[in-house]
Amino acid sequence: MVLDVRGLTMDFGGLRAVDHVDLQVNEGEIVALIGPNGAGKTTFFNCVTGMYVPTAGTVTIARPGTDARQITRMRPHLITAQGLARTFQNIRLFSEMTVLENVMIGRDCRLSAGILGAIVRNRKTVAEEKQVVLDSYAMLEMVGIGRWANETAKNLPYGAQRRLEIARALATEPFLLLLDEPAAGMNPQETRDLVALIRRLRTDHHLSIFLIEHDMSLVMTLSERIYVMDYGKLIAVGDPGEVRRDPSVIKAYLGEDVSA
């Protein structure tokens, strides 16, 4: 198990956005979290990645082959260093920086150069910088946007921006990738490419993938297990077939009781 969340709860004042959620991701699995707008999916992500401090509950992670460790209430940059990387629902690139530099920031937590090294440019710093450029470029090639390396990030087409977010997350060397609506705003062709990319990341790079998505056909084709959330609570878990047939899921999405 790479991610184990127990009883996660997040309150915003009087609003309980996430309510005692238990959720697991196994090694090499593609898991989806779905639910209507405002169900609390992004909030759940934010709690897991340390952007929000959860009101209650625990988050435990384990890089394959190592011991499990608690990351509840850890600061976000430390969680990322542990091997959890994410993308954002509303793309958050460093828009004035180049595409390559965006990925280089992703590499940052694996670097060691300091301020003094930057000024005197000792051999170690120079070598590290060179390696960062190459590694980052390789990430761009991997998601298929290498030719835009020196372009300003904000000038990229929309689909490529989403890919860049993935490349930037991959640069942190995660074992678990969290994608918040990676296909939002993509056309059918881009979505198909994205599905292929995600599969490739899993098989070739041994990543586990946990994604939030509204595009049901993508979710159904891609994921092995699906968690369904509504009003902060988990209402169903299962493989795509089970979830599709689950009356409470149908009710949550259609807003009426069809099982009655």
Partner 1 sequence: MSSQATTQPQPRRYLAYARRSLLVSIWFAILTFPIIVIRANTITGTITWRWHNIGWIVGGTFVGSWIWRYFLERKRAGAAATMGPLRQRLAASRAIVAQAVRRPAVARGGIAALLLLVVAFPFVGGMYQTNIMTTALLYVVLGLGLNIIIGLGGMLHIGYIAFYALGAYSYALLNFHFGLNFWLALPVGALVGGLFSLAIGIPVLRLRGDYLAIVTLAFAEITRLVLENWSSLTFGTAGIRNIPRPAIAGIRLTLPQTTTFVYFIMILMVALTIFVVNRLENSRIGRQFVAMKEDFIACQAMGVNIARTKLAALGLGGMWAGLAGVVFAARTTFINPASFTVWESIIVLCTVVLGGMGSIPGVITGALVLILVPEYLRAFAQFRMLLFGAVLVTMMVFRPGGLIQKRRRAYTISAQEKQVAGEIGDPGIQG
Ligand X SMILES: Nc1ncnc2c1ncn2[C@@H]1O[C@H](COP(=O)(O)OP(=O)(O)OP(=O)(O)O)[C@@H](O)[C@H]1O
Beta bridge partners of 3: 25, 61
CA angle 44, 157, 45 (to 5 degrees): 5
Beta bridge partners of 10: 18
Binding status of residue 122 toward partner 1 by CB under 8 A: no
> Which residue ranges make up the site for Mg ion (CB under 5 A)?
42, 89
Binding status of residue 238 toward partner 1 by CB under 8 A: no
Answer with the entry of Mg ion, partner 1, ligand X, none that 124 interacts with (C-beta below 5 to 8 A by kind): none
Q: Rounded CA gap, 36 and 51, in Å?
A: 22
- Looking at the Cβ atoms of 35 and 125, the one nearer to Mg ion is 35
Pairing mode, if any, of strands 176-180 and 84-86? parallel
Q: In angstroms, what is the minimal distance from the CB of 249 to partner 1?
A: 30
Binding status of residue 213 toward partner 1 by CB under 8 A: no
Answer with the entry of ligand X, Mg ion, partner 1, none that 97 interacts with (C-beta below 5 to 8 A by kind): partner 1
- Looking at the Cβ atoms of 105 and 216, the one nearer to ligand X is 216
Running DSSP on this structure, what letter comes out for residue 153? Answer: G
> Which residue ranges make up the site for ligand X (CB under 6 A)?
12, 15, 17, 35, 37-43, 89
Q: In angstroms, what is the minimal distance from the CB of 70 to partner 1?
A: 19
Running DSSP on this structure, what letter comes out for residue 35? Answer: -
- Looking at the Cβ atoms of 33 and 166, the one nearer to ligand X is 33
Q: Single out the residue of 163, 208, 225, 226 in contact with partner 1 (rule: CB under 8 A).
A: 163
Q: Among residue numbers 66 through 105, which ones bind partner 1 (CB under 8 A)?
A: 75-77, 80-81, 85-86, 88, 92-98, 100-101, 104-105
Beta bridge partners of 238: 226
Q: Rounded CA gap, 193 and 211, in Å?
A: 16
- Looking at the Cβ atoms of 73 and 245, the one nearer to partner 1 is 73
- Residue 81: alpha-carbon gap to chain centroid: 14
Report the candidate in 99, 10, 14 with the shortest Cα–Cα distance to residue 46.
10
Q: Rounded CA gap, 122 and 13, in Å?
A: 51
Q: Single out the residue of 1, 56, 109, 235 in contact with partner 1 (rule: CB under 8 A).
A: 109
